[in-house]
Structure 1
């Protein structure tokens, strides 16, 4: 086996996709209330941050309280203030709703094309989407996406002309 084939065998493939990362690191003290972070493996919006002074074992500790952006559950976690925490890449995108499938998925349209893998939310938001569609209105939903998950978080409607 030649040296060239070994280099080719282990060469990293350059994909050119800089958006591929689902999270990025940030030091705990740089995070702020109403920002996002990963707490116990969940994407959370930060509700509270408190910092304890350094103790006999060294580092100051930051205690985080957040709300899971997909389930609404409250999550608490703590980390040394000198450590990096993972921050999810969170994107909000508007889509036009074409219809709701029989199995409860939204048929969405944007400049990027069609999308059919977001479930209609339960509760008031899902009912508002269905009501607007039944009334013949043009319906737009805002989809929140992070760490490979997506959820509808808001809806807007205008009457068709």
Structure 2
């Protein structure tokens, strides 16, 4: 029998990135839930999965930055792969958004589908459906998620630049 209750889900990455984006600010399950548009019970279950995977400490408060960075750099593109889709209106992501859009000039644009978005590009499904709304209020989380998307959908150059920037932002924080 295959056990699946402890397998990571995409929202686990989003929640851990949100904790990192908060830095030294104190947080509670209900505040994370509200800011991300995820139920409080799902946040709790997510933190349990992350604890099981060794990505957060036993108290479920402090991200194991080394392990989480290792997972993002080498595993996220295999566990949560994404292929760019049809041209849609949305919010820029991957190399089309900050911080990589300051370094990379590309003809193709990637966006999270969003009817009120101001960009047009190939659709990239966000890690979790509430990400677009959540990132409107949190620039740090937005940039972390766009870097993760660059690893998920980018070519070699984009992936390498995103990996270096993620390492710097997570491990040096």
TM-score, structure 1 length as denominator? Answer: 0.26
User: Which protein, 1 or 2, shows the higher relative CO under an 8 Å CA cutoff with sep ≥ 6?
Assistant: 2
- Higher strand proportion, which one? 1
TM-score, structure 2 length as denominator? Answer: 0.24
Structure showing greater Rg: 1
